[in-house]
Amino acid sequence: MTRLSHGHIRFGTFERLAHLRESDRLRQLVAYSVRNYFQALDPDNGVLFFREVLERTARLTAQWMMAGFVHGVLNTDNMNITGESFDYGPWRFLPTYKPEFTAAYFDHAGLYAYGRQPQAVYWNLDRLALALSTVFDATSLRAELVRFPDRFHREVLACFFERMGLERPADLGRAEDLFVAGMQLLATTQKPFEDLFFDWYAGRSERAAHWTAATEWQRLLAAMTPCAQSLARGAGGYYRGERAETVLIGEVERRLSEIYRNGNWQPFYDKVARLREKGQGTWIRSVIDLRTTGLCRVAFSTSRSFFKMTTLWSSINPQGFMCINPKWRGVVFRAR
Q: Which residues are catalytic?
A: 77
CA 245 from centroid of its chain's CA atoms: 18
Q: In this structure, are residues 117 and 103 in contact, taking their beta carbons and an 8 Å threshold?
A: no
CA 107 – CA 271 distance, rounded (Å): 29
CA 26 – CA 16 distance, rounded (Å): 9
CA 1 – CA 299 distance, rounded (Å): 10
CA 78 – CA 71 distance, rounded (Å): 9
Q: Which residues contact 51 (CB under 8 A, 6 or more apart)?
A: 144, 147
List the one residue out of 90, 94, 87 whose CA is nearest residue 69: 94
Backbone angles phi, psi at 327, to 5 degrees: -70, -25
CA 334 – CA 98 distance, rounded (Å): 8
Q: In this structure, are residues 93 and 85 in contact, taking their beta carbons and an 8 Å threshold?
A: no
Cα angle, residue 101 at apex, residues 152 and 187 outer, rounded to 5°:
75
Residue type for position 151: R
SS3 of 256, please? Answer: helix
